Amino acid sequence: MATISSPLLVFHHRPSDFSSPQSLNLHRPFPVQLKPLPRHSFICNSWVGPKPAGPSTADVNSATPTVTVDAAVSTDSTSFVIRARNKIGLLQVITRVFKVLGLHIDKATVEFEGDFFTQKFFVTDSHGRKIEDQENLDRITKALLEAIDGGGGWGTETSVGPSTRGIVVRRAGLGPKPQAERMFALMDRFLSNDPVSLQKDILDHVEYTVARSRFSFDDFEAYQALAHSVRDRLIERWHDTQQYFKRKDPKRLYFLSLEFLMGRSLSNSVINLGIRDQCADALSQLGFEYEVLAEQEGDAALGNGGLARLSACQMDSLATLDYPAWGYGLRYQYGLFRQVILDGFQHEQPDYWLNFGNPWEIERVHVSYPVKFYGTVEEETLNGKSCKVWLPGETVEAVAYDNPIPGYGTRNTINLRLWAAKPDGQYDMESYNTGDYINAVVNRQRAETISCVLYPDDRSYQGKELRLKQHYFFVSASLQDIIRRFKDGHNNFDDFPEKVALQLNDTHPSLAVVEVMRVLVDEEHLGWDQAWNIVCRIFSFTTHTVLPEALEKIPVDLLGSLLPRHLQIIYDINFNFMEELKKRIGLDFNRLSQMSIVEEGAVKSIRMANLSIVCSHTVNGVSRMHSELLKTRVFKDFYELWPHKFQYKTNGVTQRRWIVVSNPSLCALISKWLGTEAWIRDIDLLIGLQEFAADADLHQEWKMVRKVNKMRLAEYIEAMSGVKVSLDAMFDVQIKRIHEYKRQLLNILSIIHRYDCIKNMEKTQRRKVVPRVCIVGGKAAPGYEVAKKIIKLCHAVAEKINNDADVGDLLKLIFVPDYNVSVAELVIPGADLSQHISTAGHEASGTGCMKFLMNGCLLLATADGSTVEIIEEIGEENMFLFGAKVHEVPALREKSSDHKAPLQFSHVVRMVRDGHFGFKDYFKSLCDGVEGDSDFYLLGSDFASYLEAQAAADKAFVDQEKWTQMSILSTAGSGRFSSDRTIEDYAETTWGIEPCKCPS
Ligand code: NBG
């Protein structure tokens, strides 16, 4: 139920205002709950005179609003009878229409009927006379209908009042009142983007938003003012897009994800709005540098890793490709922890990212919904039918924060709505009355903990109550919002699948399937079969992992206590599924129990992945290889049962963020050689670079761009670590979350090997060594001991190497602390070589590799995840491939340890064991984990081919022309890995949505 600003409800609270609408404060909304009032609570059914010729019986059940004129009912005024579905702010809009047309409302009445209301307005013209002229009556009726339907630009998503751009009624014959004309004149304009207007806006924000004087604002405050100026422009587009979507009413995609790694917004927004240069000019005339201000922004890190950054890329593509989409997520107060390194050890510090305000969000205090937890379920009889009623034990309020997401080269700006938990409006009078005021307030405040902190484990999900609460809180608020929006224009749930596609981003939002069942059956009173039929047509499910331990399971006891009705529904879904399955496969109990949604183990649990597969129409992996693994291993049984449900969608990343924003020099160079900027929207054009791959001029310019980026990175490294690195060295990068399967340890061991080789070389041999700067970065989950030891080992080895003057520039090892989106934007363009070296069959896709590829960085990789498809695009000869293939892995694991590891491997592990880098005891378990039979991730058996690939990279680097050609071909072949391609594929083959482009 929405808490909204509706004058309808003002009536509810203040019936005495009813006959005098002028006394209503239309601009100051009341935060009260909107719910269809039960019949017995009608507050104003004071019909005057005979009942007007109302809507026909056919219309009574129709969602279409009607406006009728009843001229006979009063001699002094004309009555307009409006029947419409009750929705947020509608009455405000209607009242505004009369006002704008210069009409007077003498009196009004309202009657509620379920979701509908019938409102009667007694109206006179500006001279206080009854309106009888038919032409005028028609105009008013038309204006009202347009306003109610949202077609005239009156209604907005949040009902903050009508927007006047594109308004229809102001040209009506009656003519608006002079005040309204003035308001239109002022609001009818868009903000201008010339430098002078931008300067004025920025300085206004310095003074009125940031509240600083002209003598006392610093770079950060200038950034804030700039951000607010950009945000104003985003809001204009956001409004227009939402109104347009509302008018067109297309099928919409709702992207449900618990994590979004948005990074910074300023640079991305000015690029997508096309005002980057204007902003830079405007600022430079004021004595500020755009780049310096952009650096002031902190990262929005509301996610862990690949999955979360993918969501952000996909939002960018959805907006750019004009899809009618909304994202939903949680507004964590603490994002992903900050990684601080002390003596080489990782420490976690809270990321209170909202400390300095967040200019990019719009707080919607009146868009809030109650979310229920705990309690009991009772059986009641309604209209002779028995139904379940959930009596919750706790209610928390979800408040919306909107984040506009602008598309590139389009006016479309979509919404990412994030929910924050707040105490609800119900007070525990008991504790207040007993005088325990402080405790009562403190208890209520606890509600906020739900959206307080992001869980920092990216792939192990223990059944934690707070985590489950977060999931349901998110799901419940989002669905209330989605269903409310659907009911605004539709009254038959059978149309729901025609209008709504719900995307489950991994299993975190899977409770949504159960929640939709609960709402349809318990609240909308649909039959089970009808509700189930709807559920099965709206959900699609993407899984982002191959690791069984990452598949969420929720203990039944926990679920039953927190969400008692949901557990019942899950049991019912499972019962029906098991019955269907028995008919298909017979009494194969082994298989039945493996496929069951309920796991009967030591801890009886709900398997969220099974639940999602059973209830979704499609299931997909995030690369071709991943999808194959799902079909043949992880969800084999389900694939055999429903082969048609399984799809593959190879991930992609947005070239706007990963080339245009983060590598402007490369962006300019590509546009120059392709003769167009069109590739920024149409990535397939990049292939055109192939033609120039051997062109000497391009080579020179390409090398220059790469050098500039390397210089930027070298400066950063020096500032951060004090280590000066040579620009002639190969910059070799591995940045990603630290995980055993991603094998950062393999990288570090090979660096030790390289160091050892250099140390043992003659002077003449050393001259042939290709100098390297090895850069490693990534966070370890706070409870993941092995990952933390890997970070420490990296520092210990770096300490030794970087301080060894004998080795000098031949080898350096740098750990980049606190790796995040902004760090990636700096590091990726400056990398020569990047490593994606997971054990084959473990990386679902990988998206970092795509960002490096687009930036012309060569890949050193295993044939895992999406790398397999990259090979197809650019050819094996343009990268350095090594290691066991996925089908070889099981046999290698069986092999006895003696056959696996080469001597060099044992030697470097021995160096660590012997304390060559100190911390002998601390590193012992790391060494034990890769030797003998415990080398699960096959570091030993891949070591030899890894060293060969490294040697091949060295060799290629010596021939700079060859290297540059490979680099150009990497960028040229990266088109397939744009999230634009992925999103188009989802839109067409999974969601069934079409572009809905807001006119410019
Ligand atoms: C990650 C996978 C990556 C994949 C991204 C995006 C999580 C939980 N999973 O291989 O490990 O590229 O998801 O799909 O972040």
Residue 864: give its domain's CATH number. 3.40.50.2000
- Domain contains 663: no
- pLDDT over 60 at 246, yes or no: yes
- Domain contains 685: no
- pLDDT over 90 at 213, yes or no: no
Given 264, 851, 900, 981, the catalytic residue: 851
SS3 852: helix
- Domain contains 420: no
Least confident of 164-168, 359-363, 621-625: 164-168
Which residue's alpha carbon is nearest to atom 6 within ligand 1?
A: 307
Q: How far apart are CA 475 and CA 284, in angstroms?
A: 46
- Domain contains 620: no
Taking the C-alpha atoms of 379, 385, 387 and 389 in order, what is their torsion angle to the nearest 10 degrees? -70
Q: 381: how many CB neighbours lie within 10 A of its CB?
A: 8
Residue among 628, 680, 625, 648 nearest 872 (CA): 625
Q: How far apart are CA 120 and CA 42, in angstroms?
A: 15
Question: Which of 97, 130, 147 is the C-terminal boundary of a domain?
Answer: 147
Beta-carbon contacts of 498 under 8 Å, excluding residues fewer than 6 positions away, are 251
**CB of residue 865 inside a 6 A radius of ligand 1:** yes
- Tokens linked to 993: 């949505």
The mean pLDDT value for 916-939 works out to: 96
Query: Could you read off the pLDDT of 591-614 as tens digits, one per residue?
Result: 999 999 999 989 999 999 999 999
Give the DSSP H/E element, type plus range, for residue 690.
Answer: none
The mean pLDDT value for 161-185 works out to: 51
Q: How far apart are CA 293 and CA 274, in angstroms?
A: 18
DSSP class per residue in 488-531: HH---GGGHHHHEEEEEESSTTTHHHHHHHHIIIIIS---HHHH
The mean pLDDT value for 453-478 works out to: 90
- pLDDT over 80 at 30, yes or no: no
Mutate to test the pocket of ligand 1, among 313, 507, 544, 852 (most ligand atoms within 8 A of CB): 544
- pLDDT over 50 at 27, yes or no: no
Phi, psi of 760 (to 5 degrees): -95, 10
Rg (CA), the chain: 31
Least confident of 180-189, 420-429, 788-797: 180-189
Exposure of 740 in the CB half-sphere (CA atoms within 13 A): 17
Query: Could you read off the pLDDT of 294-322 as tens digits, one per residue?
Result: 999 999 999 999 999 999 999 999 999 99
CA 414-418-421 angle, to 5 degrees, is: 160
SS3 16: helix
β pairing state of 300-302 and 260-263: antiparallel
- Tokens linked to 845: 């896709």
- Tokens linked to 249: 């009413």
Measure Cα distances from 752 to 471, 883, 908, 912 in Å. Answer: 44, 19, 6, 9
Q: By percentage, how much of the chain surpasses pLDDT 70? A: 88
**What pLDDT, on a 0 to 100 scale, did the predictor assign at position 427?**
61
**What pLDDT, on a 0 to 100 scale, did the predictor assign at position 177?**
65
- Domain contains 334: no
- pLDDT over 90 at 92, yes or no: no
Strand partners of residue 112:
117
Q: Is 968 exposed, middle or buried (0-12, 13-18, 19+ CB in 10 A)?
A: buried
- Domain contains 104: yes
Is 660 in contact with 667 (CB distance < 8 Å)?
A: yes
- Say how far residue 16 (Cα) sits from the centre of its chain: 46
Mean pLDDT, the chain, integer? 89
Q: How far apart are CA 451 and CA 330, in angstroms?
A: 7
Residue among 246, 430, 215, 388 nearest 326 (CA): 246
Comparing 227 with 4, which gets the higher pLDDT? 227
Tell me if residue 971 is catalytic: no
Question: Which of 147, 169, 185 is the C-terminal boundary of a domain?
Answer: 147
CA 347-349-354 angle, to 5 degrees, is: 160
- Say how far residue 840 (Cα) sits from the centre of its chain: 28
Tell me if residue 847 is catalytic: yes
- The pLDDT-based confidence of 38 (bands split at 50, 70, 90) is very low
Query: Could you read off the pLDDT of 677-697 as tens digits, one per residue?
Result: 999 999 999 999 999 999 999
- Orientation of helix 920-928 relative to helix 903-913, angle to 10°: 150
Is 393 in contact with 375 (CB distance < 8 Å)?
A: yes
- pLDDT over 50 at 157, yes or no: no
- Domain contains 402: no
Given 95, 241, 320, 847, the catalytic residue: 847
Tell me if residue 736 is catalytic: yes
Q: How far apart are CA 744 and CA 748, in angstroms?
A: 6
- pLDDT over 80 at 748, yes or no: yes
Q: State the distance from the centre of ligand 1 to the C-alpha of 643, rounded, in angstroms.
A: 23
- Tokens linked to 758: 């250099």
Q: Which atom of ligand 1 is nearest to the CA of 844?
A: 10
**What pLDDT, on a 0 to 100 scale, did the predictor assign at position 48?**
31
- Domain contains 237: no
Measure Cα distances from 214 to 202, 210, 221, 295 in Å. Answer: 11, 11, 11, 21
In the numeric block, the tokens 């109610």 are attached to 148
Phi, psi of 302 (to 5 degrees): -90, 45
Q: Which atom of ligand 1 is nearest to the CA of 651?
A: 14
What is the pTM (predicted TM-score) of this model? 0.86
Is 841 in contact with 546 (CB distance < 8 Å)?
A: yes
Strand partners of residue 301:
261
Is 227 in contact with 297 (CB distance < 8 Å)?
A: yes
Least confident of 118-127, 342-351, 500-509: 118-127
**Cβ burial 626-645 (10 Å sphere, 16+ → b, else e):** bbbbbbeebbebbbebbeeb
Tell me if residue 737 is catalytic: yes
- The 3-class secondary structure across 116-155, one letter per residue, is EEEEEEEEECCCCCCCCCHHHHHHHHHHHHHHHHCCCCCC
Query: Could you read off the pLDDT of 368-397 as tens digits, one per residue?
Result: 999 999 999 999 998 888 999 999 999 999
Q: How far apart are CA 310 and CA 506, in angstroms?
A: 12
Exposure of 191 in the CB half-sphere (CA atoms within 13 A): 21
SS3 591: helix
**CB of residue 545 inside a 6 A radius of ligand 1:** yes
Side chain identity at residue 721, one-letter code: S
Q: How far apart are CA 990 and CA 313, in angstroms?
A: 18
Q: How far apart are CA 834 and CA 846, in angstroms?
A: 13
Q: State the distance from the centre of ligand 1 to the C-alpha of 310, rounded, in angstroms.
A: 8
Q: How far apart are CA 819 and CA 371, in angstroms?
A: 35
- pLDDT over 90 at 399, yes or no: yes
CA 390-393-399 angle, to 5 degrees, is: 90
Q: Which domain holds residue 964?
A: 692-977
Number of domains into which the chain is organized: 2
CATH of the domain at 112: 3.30.70.260
Measure Cα distances from 680 to 360, 654, 689, 851, 987 in Å. Answer: 24, 9, 14, 14, 20
The mean pLDDT value for 329-336 works out to: 98
Given 649, 736, 743, 789, the catalytic residue: 736
**Cβ burial 213-231 (10 Å sphere, 16+ → b, else e):** eeeebeeebbbbbbbbbbb
The mean pLDDT value for 540-560 works out to: 93
**CB of residue 7 inside a 6 A radius of ligand 1:** no
Residue among 736, 744, 747 nearest 950 (CA): 747
Least confident of 60-64, 491-495, 638-642, 788-792: 60-64
Question: Which of 114, 147, 180 is the C-terminal boundary of a domain?
Answer: 147
- Tokens linked to 666: 């490369």
DSSP class per residue in 955-971: HHHHSHHHHHHHHHHHH
- The pLDDT-based confidence of 214 (bands split at 50, 70, 90) is confident
- pLDDT over 90 at 101, yes or no: no
The mean pLDDT value for 145-155 works out to: 59
- Tokens linked to 181: 């004309």
Q: How far apart are CA 537 and CA 524, in angstroms?
A: 18
**What pLDDT, on a 0 to 100 scale, did the predictor assign at position 439?**
82
Mutate to test the pocket of ligand 1, among 608, 845, 866, 869 (most ligand atoms within 8 A of CB): 845
Q: By percentage, how much of the chain surpasses pLDDT 90? A: 76
